[in-house]
């Protein structure tokens, strides 16, 4: 390895001196000549000056589909550069690290109020786009970048995201560029196909299929069903046609054929290969997780201690007996109770008091013939009433699961109906069977029956009861429900037919023409490549193919179609990330520019309104200054717990102490000046005697550190005195004045 490294260093030196044709290059091995060649291409493409680096290494990896990928690494004092490229010098990844004082991470602690950063996003975007111009394949690849993430007070870089256009068409390949804020240098670039090869490269985008023809073909794949959907902000459910999930289709741009993508994947998966081993490993891991409950030893000491404090809660033994007596159909007699976990959830109590629902999750396990079964029952810990039941199983033996389906569908449904009568009570008359999944040998061991709220014809799926029956022994395997009695079903006077609804839904969608990832058999690979792909474990590979798909319109979402009117339901949305803070009461107010400048970075008072003339309470002050530290507090939704959390952050930041907590006390101007300047480290300076003077009209009355704070506040521009030109440290401060003061300090 050491000899190899020295050769790489020598090659790097040759590149730096422009000696690609020297005797040194001629003496190098073919591998080193390849490294020399690709390094020269990468340096030329990126315009790299590598003089500051003292070490260089290059390693290659070869894949039957991807071809050769080179990992080039330069290192030096406080700097590292890594580039991934192919033999042609095409760059797939770029990562530059240079240490600087700004690398010190910010972890909170005492409040640090930074200056408002200069917005260089436009310049950074121009730099990022120029970098793409160097690394993307000219004439084929382009990308329009967009900023990723909201602005930050401590922003050290700008991140941009885009999707590659191939021959002007959108593609599934994304890219990311990161630009350092300090000097607008690109520090990172990556593209989504770094580890993805496409058989056949990028085909021509030509097509004879029109969007209208593609829309008609894709429309034949649509399936809608009529069901009740709750109207936003109400308890009334209206009838809509909504899309039924199914396979993904596209219209091939070259052939004009309608292609079922999911069916292609299913056909190619049948022989195993690509993805098969990974999927099996995932299933094994899930089985292991499922079986874990059977080995739990029971309640921890913390759970026992907590249970002792839950007034009125039954013990796990009492709950076990209650469940087995009330629900013998679950079949817990031969199971062992392995764990019990209690939990609390708040609910309104009498006269505004807080009360708690106490639930307990009981876990049962059974192991027989290397088959591990688990049943998890959630109950009301005070009454023993069942809330839900879930079951799982995992076979640890060799070969197939020895347990066979012993119950037919008719008997399973009879047992489910009996369980529904108990689970739903009077609500059983409001529901009907909406969905049924049968147990099948080798595919699934559970019959599942879902009963939904109905008007006799159509269903409201959010009000439901689900009952599962174990097909191997006939016991109940699942009980689950959600039912809001306040919801009413508004039956329409008429219902358009499904064909009309599908037409309206289809017309509201877009049909873009783009490159798509399509699975293809390795038999389509060139003769010299196909055997290598097979030996590498590939059963199929992906290819880029131009085609049409159904897609949601830009900046909107088509939710369905109103069943009565036949009108498509198109909900627009704002693609831009909204500012975390926005005010609705600052139109024309003098503080609006300052408040909005801070709000961009999440600094300010949440809740929608600033109420600029209102006095700044201590709680307001903590919330305002904690927002500088990234803490979000919404007074509109604040309960006692969230206020306590806010104050805990205030204690940690040194804004208040538990002894001085007085949430509703209105602060004075002098108090806020002191808090802000103390956070900036000016407190000791303000206390120095005999060195300060200020020009406020009431300067003669200012003494001690009050004079020091006043002089510093005037010098830093925090306070200008207003019409009276007075510092007025004892005057109550308004929210508007507080925001303006903070802005002046940070700008």
Determine the average pLDDT of the residues in 88-94: 95
What's the farthest any 2 CA atoms get from each other in the chain? 97
pLDDT of residue 306: 39
Which has the closest alpha carbon to 72: 51, 58, 55, 56?
58
- Looking at the predicted structure, is the pLDDT value of residue 401 above 90? no
Which residue, chain included where needed, has tokens 């990896």?
A: 61
236-243 vs 488-490, strand pairing mode? parallel
Per-residue confidence band for 492, with pLDDT thresholds at 50, 70 and 90: very high
540-548 vs 249-252, strand pairing mode? antiparallel
Alpha carbon distance 93, 86 (integer Å) = 10
Domain spans, the chain: 1-99, 211-271+493-572, 291-486, 592-746
**Which carries the bigger pLDDT value, residue 687 or residue 270?**
687
**Cβ-Cβ contacts under 8 Å for 137 (sequence gap 6 or more):** 90
Per residue in 516-543, is it b (16+ CB within 10 Å) or e — as a string?
Answer: bebbbbbeebeeeebebbeeeebbbbbb
Alpha carbon distance 323, 334 (integer Å) = 14
pLDDT of residue 184: 95
Q: Is the dihedral of CA 518, 519, 522, 523 positive or negative?
A: negative
Q: Which CATH class is domain 1-99?
A: alpha beta
User: Following DSSP, what letter does each residue of 292-324 receive, concatenated?
Assistant: GGGG--S--HHHHHHHHTSTTPPPHHHHHHHHH
Task: Tell me which DSSP letter residue 457 carries.
Answer: S
User: Following DSSP, what letter does each residue of 345-410 receive, concatenated?
Assistant: EEEE-GGG-EEEEEEEEEEEEEEETTEEEEEEEEEETTT--EEEEEEEEEE-SSSS-S----S-HH
Q: Are 413 and 451 in contact (CB under 8 A)?
A: no
User: Following DSSP, what letter does each residue of 266-299 receive, concatenated?
Assistant: HHHHTT--TTHHHHHHHHHHHHHHHHGGGG--S-
Per-residue confidence band for 501, with pLDDT thresholds at 50, 70 and 90: very high
- Looking at the predicted structure, is the pLDDT value of residue 638 above 50? yes
530 is written with which tokens? 């196909």
- Looking at the predicted structure, is the pLDDT value of residue 160 above 80? yes
pLDDT of residue 299: 44
- Looking at the predicted structure, is the pLDDT value of residue 15 above 50? no
670 is written with which tokens? 């002098």
629 is written with which tokens? 């530290």
Q: Supply the angle between the helices 121-135 and 30-46 in degrees, to the nearest 10.
A: 140
pLDDT digits (tens, 9 = 90+) for 576-624: 666 778 899 999 999 999 999 999 888 999 988 999 999 999 999 999 9
Query: For residue 310, how far is the Cα from the chain centroid?
Result: 36
């Amino acid at each position: 390895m050491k000899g190899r490294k020295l050769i790489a260093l020598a090659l790097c030196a040759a590149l730096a001196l422009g000696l690609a044709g020297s005797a040194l290059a001629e003496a190098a091995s073919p591998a080193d000549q390849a490294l020399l060649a690709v390094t020269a291409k990468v340096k030329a493409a990126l315009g790299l000056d590598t003089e500051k680096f003292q070490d260089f290494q290059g390693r290659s990896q070869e894949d039957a589909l991807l071809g050769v990928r080179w990992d080039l690494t330069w290192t030096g004092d406080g700097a590292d550069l890594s580039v991934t490229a192919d033999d042609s010098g095409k760059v797939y990844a770029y990562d530059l690290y240079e240490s600087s004082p700004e690398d010190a991470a910010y972890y909170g602690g005492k409040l640090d109020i930074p200056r408002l950063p200069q917005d260089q996003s436009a310049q950074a975007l121009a730099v990022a786009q120029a970098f793409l111009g160097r690394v993307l394949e000219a004439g084929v690849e382009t990308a329009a970048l967009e900023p990723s993430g909201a602005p930050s007070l401590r922003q050290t870089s700008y991140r941009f995201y885009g999707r590659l256009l191939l021959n002007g068409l959108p593609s599934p390949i994304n890219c990311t560029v990161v630009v350092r804020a300090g000097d607008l240098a690109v520090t990172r670039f990556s593209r989504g196909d770094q580890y993805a090869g496409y058989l056949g490269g990028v085909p021509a985008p030509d097509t004879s299929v029109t969007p209208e023809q593609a829309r008609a073909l894709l429309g034949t794949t649509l399936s809608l069903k009529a069901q009740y959907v709750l109207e936003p902000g109400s308890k009334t459910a209206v009838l809509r046609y909504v899309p039924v999930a199914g396979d993904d289709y596209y219209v091939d741009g070259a052939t004009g054929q309608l292609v079922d993508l999911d069916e292609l994947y299913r056909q190619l998966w049948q022989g195993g290969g690509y993805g098969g081993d990974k999927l099996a490993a995932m299933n094994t891991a899930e089985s292991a997780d499922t079986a874990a409950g059977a080995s739990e030893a029971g309640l921890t000491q913390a759970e026992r201690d907590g249970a002792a404090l839950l007034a009125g809660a039954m013990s796990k033994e009492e709950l076990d007996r209650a469940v087995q007596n009330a629900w013998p159909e679950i079949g817990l007699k031969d199971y062992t109770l392995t764990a019990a976990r209690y939990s609390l959830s708040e609910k309104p109590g009498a006269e505004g008091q807080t009360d708690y629902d106490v639930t307990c999750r009981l876990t049962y396990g059974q192991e027989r013939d290397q088959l591990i079964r688990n049943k998890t029952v959630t109950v009301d810990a005070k009454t023993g009433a069942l809330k839900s039941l879930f079951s799982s199983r995992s076979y640890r033996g060799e070969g197939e699961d020895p347990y066979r389906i012993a119950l037919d569908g008719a008997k399973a449904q009879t047992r489910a109906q009996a369980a529904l009568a108990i689970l739903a009570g009077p609500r059983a008359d409001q529901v009907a069977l909406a969905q049924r999944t049968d147990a099948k040998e080798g595919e699934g061991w559970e019959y599942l029956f879902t009963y939904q709220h109905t008007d006799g014809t159509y269903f409201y799926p959010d009000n439901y009861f689900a009952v599962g029956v174990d097909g191997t022994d006939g016991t109940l395997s699942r009980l689950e429900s959600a039912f809001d009695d306040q919801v009413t079903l508004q039956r329409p006077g008429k219902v358009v037919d499904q064909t009309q609804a599908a037409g309206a839904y289809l017309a509201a969608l877009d049909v873009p023409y783009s490159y798509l990832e399509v699975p293809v058999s390795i038999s389509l690979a060139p003769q010299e490549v196909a055997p290598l792909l097979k030996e590498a474990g590939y059963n199929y590979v992906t290819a880029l193919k131009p085609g049409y798909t159904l897609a949601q319109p830009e900046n909107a979402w088509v939710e369905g179609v109103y069943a009565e009117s036949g009108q498509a339901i198109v909900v627009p949305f704002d693609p831009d990330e909204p500012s975390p803070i926005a005010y609705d009461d600052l139109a024309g107010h003098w503080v609006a520019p300052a408040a909005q400048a801070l709000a961009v970075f999440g600094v300010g008072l949440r809740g929608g309104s600033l109420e600029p003339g209102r006095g700044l309470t201590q709680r307001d002050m903590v919330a305002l200054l904690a927002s500088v530290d990234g803490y979000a507090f919404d007074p509109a939704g604040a309960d006692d717990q969230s206020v306590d959390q806010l104050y805990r952050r205030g204690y940690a930041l040194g804004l208040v102490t538990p002894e001085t907590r007085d949430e509703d006390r209105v602060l004075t101007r002098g108090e806020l000046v002191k808090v802000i300047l103390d956070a900036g480290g000016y407190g000791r300076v303000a206390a120095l005697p005999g060195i300060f003077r200020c020009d406020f009209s009431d300067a003669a009355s200012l003494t001690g550190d009050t004079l020091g704070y006043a002089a510093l506040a005037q010098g830093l521009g925090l306070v200008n005195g207003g019409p009276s030109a007075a510092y007025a440290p004892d005057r109550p401060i308004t929210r508007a004045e507080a925001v303006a003061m903070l802005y002046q300090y940070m700008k």
